[in-house]
Amino acid sequence: MQERTQIRPNREIGGSVFDDEESEESGGLVTVLHAPYTEELPVGEMNVREVRTRFRDRLDIHPEAVAFVDGSPVDDDTIVHEGERLMFMRPAGEKGLGL
């Protein structure tokens, strides 16, 4: 059986994730990744800690995941800007530790 990849046009982001006082002044779009999830989110001008906390459940971000902006490691106080790529990665070599 052959599978086809469907390309969907960009759609507006809505729902309860942005239903608070900050949603009126959301920042520019930033690509946020935590494998296997990738989304463009209006988190420009937020710091990494805020993004990690706000999208922890939606993107399944591990609390100990290391943050990278455009390929460079950053701390949680780093501000992300429109057009950047924010990636969360778990440290290598963790699989099976302590189990």
Whether residue 2 has pLDDT greater than 70: no
Q: What is the pLDDT of residue 6?
A: 54
> Residue 38 domain-assigned?
yes
Q: What span, in angstroms and rounded, lies between the C-alpha atoms of 59 and 57?
A: 6
> Residue 10 domain-assigned?
no
Q: Which of 88, 72, 80, 79 is nearest to 29 (CA)?
A: 80
What is the domain extent for residue 41? 27-89
Q: What is the DSSP letter of 60?
A: T
> Residue 65 domain-assigned?
yes
Q: What is the DSSP letter of 37?
A: E
> Residue 77 domain-assigned?
yes
Q: Are strands 72-74 and 85-89 parallel, antiparallel or unpaired?
A: unpaired
Number of domains in the chain: 1
Give residue-wise pLDDT tens across range 7-20.
555 544 444 444 44
| 3: three-class secondary structure by DSSP | coil
User: Which residues on adjacent β-strands are paired with residue 73?
Assistant: 68
Give residue-wise pLDDT tens across range 54-94.
999 999 998 889 999 999 999 999 999 999 999 999 877 65
Which CATH number does the domain housing residue 32 bear?
3.10.20.90
